[in-house]
Amino acid sequence: MRCEICGKEAKLKRALVEGVEMMVCQDCTRYGIVLPEKKQQGTLAAAAKLKKKPLPYSKDVFEEMKQELVPDWGRKIKEARERKGMSREELGAKVGEKTTTIAKIENEELRPPDETVKKIEKVLEIKLFQEIENAVVKHKEVRPLTLGDLLKNAK
Ligand SMILES: [Zn+2]
């Protein structure tokens, strides 16, 4: 058998080259991913999945822009909780935090993790994260690294 890439007569390996399954020689396996003879289907599926997976970049940026909490978030939580006739204990139980933690959050002694903030938002039906537009303005000063910066950092 001849290698499907260089045409050399050699012992061939099954490899995935740019998403195409090919029989290639040892030298040419570097152009792709060598597929093991067994569990071939799984590897192909995994490779396809890997290829299709979108870059998480844009989502991360989006998430980061949502990090800012509204001003007076502690008071807003307290007021919303009282409006609902809920005790700190009840709110804590709903969002999986201790009563003392809820007290600290309401006094803004503790900035709850985003996950907890989202739960509180849901339970109390309030908005605690700032609107994205505001966050964008706030983040505008952060510019991406330029080539110049990279060269500087490299020194
Ligand atoms: Zn080859």
d(CA 102, CA 106): 6
- The predicted pLDDT at position 130 comes to 83
Radius of gyration of the chain from its Cα atoms, rounded to whole angstroms: 27
- In the predicted model, is pLDDT for residue 59 greater than 70? no
Which pTM was predicted?
0.45
Listed by start position, the domains of the chain span: 13-52, 70-128
Per-residue pLDDT tens digits for 107-131: 999 999 999 999 999 999 999 988 6
- In the predicted model, is pLDDT for residue 77 greater than 90? yes
Q: Measured in Å, how far apart are the chain's first and last C-alpha atoms?
A: 51
CA of 27 relative to ligand 1 center, distance in Å: 5
CA of 97 relative to ligand 1 center, distance in Å: 60
List, in sequence order, every residue forming a beta bridge with 69; answer none if it has no partner.
129
What integer is the mean pLDDT of 32-49?
Answer: 66
- The predicted pLDDT at position 138 comes to 47
CA of 13 relative to ligand 1 center, distance in Å: 10
Annotation: CATH topology of 70-128 = 434 Repressor (Amino-terminal Domain) (1.10.260)
CA of 119 relative to ligand 1 center, distance in Å: 56
Residue 121 burial (CB count, 10 A): 16
Percent of residues, the chain, with pLDDT higher than 90 = 57
Per-residue pLDDT tens digits for 83-99: 999 999 999 999 999 99
Mean pLDDT lowest among 5-19, 69-83, 140-154: 140-154
CA of 18 relative to ligand 1 center, distance in Å: 15
